Amino acid sequence: MITVTYIISGRTTLEYHRMLVDYSCNRTVVRKTRHHSQFQLFIKMEIKSVLIVDGVGPVCADTLTSHGISVTTKPKITKEELLKEIPKHNALVVRSATQVTEEVLAAAKNLNVVGRAGAGVDNIDVNAAGKKNIMVINAPGANAMSACELTCGLILALARHVVPAATSLKAGRWDRALYTGTEVNNRTLAVLGLGRVGREVAVRMRSFGMKVIGFDPYVTSEQCQEFGATKVELSEVWPQADYITLHMPLIDSTRSFINKEVLNSCKKGVKIVNVGRGGLIHEPDFLEALKEGKVGAAALDVFEEEPPKNPLTLEIIQHPAVVATPHLGASTKEAQVRVGQEIAEQLVNLVKPGTYKTPLAAVKPSN
């Protein structure tokens, strides 16, 4: 029996609930309460010793040790060393370099939780962990502000042709007339997906005088109003939006969300920003709309395939109306520090429930 109490709270409460029912198979769910719209679950777990690998910032270790949790830090660890070291620990914290494979998990005799200091868990065998009742947690909120700020910067960059104008000047031209822009003030911005990133974008672009409309099936009109957005139906988004920014997860229902039918319903020349996930845009339809001028400009940080090799994606990137960045949404110094902090806070909460407000971000196995 694992013996530490944990509090979980968050917006996607039903999902957490289902997940923790899964996880609770050999842990004890102590209490479930509803507080406002948040769900709280208390489960038991033990974390005495944490192994931190992969150059996770020192704030992670500092936070854990300040709460009396023993920490071993090995910024670079070989697979052999990891296999030898892992049985001594109850928790493992990784970034993206260390592969937490079935073999590693099999050797982890005392492991209760793997923390990914970041969002993606591609380097962790979540299903193998699930079978061993090892919880996998990540830090999805830690990069929200960074992704938001990149989005806002890209919206402004599109409005004022910052990237092509700067490139043109560096090439020795002085094309002032060519790069006359538009103000964002009084333009309509549609924010699709009003989660951690989307709502921060809404707040910031409101302060630029944009009319912000939003769509998110799980966010109410009242919640939208809190961050200055008006909730509308999807059918109302397309004819109104001057700018569309995508902030949903890539799941079956959102794959190819921006497709030919949608693009045909948009205002001619609509500007589209994607700092969400590549698959949200159907790239062949998108390229066609760019060529026809239906999409007037686009800023893309994420692509169907990364790094992009598909000639069609490369043609989109090369299109003069496109500003493309290599998945930089989370790439800030602050986000890198915050991911370690957020994982440490979740681990401390597992030991000392309610110490931090940071909600548990457990990743559910897919089978």
Ligand X SMILES: NC(=O)c1ccc[n+]([C@@H]2O[C@H](COP(=O)([O-])OP(=O)(O)OC[C@H]3O[C@@H](n4cnc5c(N)ncnc54)[C@H](O)[C@@H]3O)[C@@H](O)[C@H]2O)c1
Backbone phi, then psi, for 186, in 5-degree steps?
70, 0
Verify whether residue 306 is a known catalytic residue.
yes
Tokens of 316: 């989109």
Residues whose CB is less than 8 angstroms from the CB of residue 235 and which lie 6 or more positions away in sequence, other chains included: 265
Tell which positions 129-148 bind ligand X, by CB under 6 A. Answer: 140, 143-144, 147
Give the nearest distance from C-beta 169 to ligand X in angstroms: 28
Give the nearest distance from C-beta 7 to ligand X in angstroms: 19
Nearest to 124 by CA among 150, 147, 153, 102: 102
Phi-psi region of 54 (alpha: psi -120 to 50; beta: other; left: phi over 0): left
- Specify whether the CB–CB gap between 250 and 280 falls below 8 A: yes
253 lies in the site for ligand X, by CB under 6 A: yes
Tell which positions 147-186 bind ligand X, by CB under 6 A. Answer: 147
> Which of 20, 47, 134, 330 contacts ligand X by CB under 6 A?
330
Residue position matching structure tokens 């299903």: 127
Give the nearest distance from C-beta 253 to ligand X in angstroms: 5
Give the nearest distance from C-beta 330 to ligand X in angstroms: 4
Stretch that binds ligand X, among 173-181, 196-204, 235-243, 354-362 (CB under 6 A): 196-204
Burial 42-51 (b: 16+ CB within 10 A, else e): bbbbbbeebb
Segment holding 298, helix H or strand E: strand 295-300
Beta strands in 203-267 (DSSP E): 211-215, 230-231, 243-246
> Which of 67, 160, 327, 352 contacts ligand X by CB under 6 A?
327
> Which of 50, 56, 189, 194 contacts ligand X by CB under 6 A?
194
Give the nearest distance from C-beta 196 to ligand X in angstroms: 4
Give the nearest distance from C-beta 274 to ligand X in angstroms: 8
Tell which positions 257-296 bind ligand X, by CB under 6 A. Answer: 275-277
Nearest to 229 by CA among 213, 207, 208: 213
Q: Which is nearer to ligand X, 180 or 253 (CB)?
A: 253
The catalytic residue among 27, 277, 282, 319 is 277
Sheet of 113-116, strand order: 70-74, 49-53, 91-94, 113-116, 135-138
Verify whether residue 80 is a known catalytic residue.
no
Give the nearest distance from C-beta 223 to ligand X in angstroms: 10
Stretch that binds ligand X, among 84-92, 213-221, 259-267, 306-314 (CB under 6 A): 213-221
Tell which positions 1-60 bind ligand X, by CB under 6 A. Answer: none
Query: Closest-CB residue for ligand X?
Result: 195
364 lies in the site for ligand X, by CB under 6 A: no
The catalytic residue among 102, 261, 306, 334 is 306
Please tell me the count of residues contacting ligand X according to CB under 6 A: 30
> Which of 130, 278, 329, 359 contacts ligand X by CB under 6 A?
329
Residue 89: strand, helix, or coil: coil
Neighbours of 272 (CB within 10 A): 25
How far is CA 308 from its chain centroid?
A: 20
216 lies in the site for ligand X, by CB under 6 A: yes
Backbone phi, then psi, for 74, in 5-degree steps?
-135, 90
> Which of 57, 118, 195, 353 contacts ligand X by CB under 6 A?
195
Segment holding 336, helix H or strand E: helix 333-351
Rg of the chain on CA atoms, in Å: 23
196 lies in the site for ligand X, by CB under 6 A: yes
338 lies in the site for ligand X, by CB under 6 A: no
Backbone phi, then psi, for 213, in 5-degree steps?
-110, 155
Residues that are catalytic = 277, 306, 327
Q: Which residues bind ligand X (CB under 6 A)?
A: 140, 143-144, 147, 192-198, 215-219, 247-250, 253-254, 275-277, 301-302, 327, 329-330
